[in-house]
Amino acid sequence: MNLSRAKTILIFAFLGLNLFLCFYLFGNALSEPLRMRVSRKQWREIEEQLERNGYTLAAQVDRSARKSAFLTVSPSKAPEKAIRERFALSPTPLTDSAGALLFEGRQAKLKVFPGGLLRLEFAPGIALMEETAADEEAAPAPFVENFLREKGLAPDEFYYDHATTIDGKTVLHYLQSCEGAPLFSGYLKAIMENNTLTALELSLLEPKKPLQGQGMEVISSARALLRLIEIRGASSPPRQIVKADLGFYSRSYDADEWEMPPVWRFLFDSGESIFINAFTGNLEPETSN
């Protein structure tokens, strides 16, 4: 047998084996960016499928491959203490039938729910907008934010998200953030009626673990939008999706701490949100608060 030919055959066999092993070990990882990437044509098809089912995408959506991790959180006690001191509320609370604690004062009363939610009600309400501003239909958000800062009730990590109107009341929705990601379970709601602030609802969380450098790949925004159609079905009348964000969400628990999964939040023009688990693609039930 020709020794040179035998060596050539062995070299090619060895190279072939190496290529096979590389593809077997790393092929999935190398092809993952291609799997996650959505072309312009594919994205147009997704938008057309949304429109056929009664959804209009009116939001900018991050189409890149993303990573995330579970986030461990606990309810913060700081807002309750600050509110009780700021509004001189009674040191001894009453307890209602649902187990909530009620602290009362001359200007306001605070209800502390078992899961950590705070509801601060003002009597008869606090006028924040001048009559001239109200007549010109000025946006109430800056007036609310000034009041929150003056009273020390506006944590740095909160930001304005959207507003809704229900039964003549305007509700300004603020969200908490952690390392740039929204915490949809950490929020502040300012409730206004006739240009008067009547109540605040606050749920502040304390993240326990940093997210930098952690995470697993999550489903793409494109896949999450398709899951929205699969879960909710066609919409009649048509609806607009005005925001699409990757953040964290779970129901609140009466516990020292719990884990929140990453979710895709789609916000409709009606103010309703839908949360798609970014690991499983399943619907996360919206909190009743």
pLDDT tens digits, one per residue of 95-137? 988 889 999 999 899 999 988 899 999 988 888 876 545 455 5
CATH for the stretch 36-69+215-284 = 2.40.128
**pLDDT of amino acid 66:** 86
Delimiting residues of CATH 3.30.310 domain(s) in the chain: 75-207
Determine which of 113-117, 180-184, 280-284 has the lowest per-residue pLDDT on average: 113-117
**What is the pLDDT averaged over residues 14-38?**
41
Res 188 pLDDT > 90: yes
Place 2 in a pLDDT band, splitting at 50, 70 and 90.
low
What does the pLDDT look like over 191-224, one tens digit per residue? 999 889 999 999 999 998 766 556 789 999 999 9
**pLDDT of amino acid 195:** 83
What is the overall mean pLDDT for the chain?
A: 83
Measure the CA–CA gap between 25 and 185, rounded to whole angstroms.
39
**pLDDT of amino acid 5:** 52
CATH for the stretch 75-207 = 3.30.310
Contact, 226 vs 46, CB < 8 A?
yes
Most trustworthy range by pLDDT among 83-87, 192-196, 285-289: 83-87
Res 255 pLDDT > 60: yes
Most trustworthy range by pLDDT among 95-104, 144-153, 222-231, 244-253: 222-231
Delimiting residues of CATH 2.40.128 domain(s) in the chain: 36-69+215-284
**pLDDT of amino acid 20:** 40
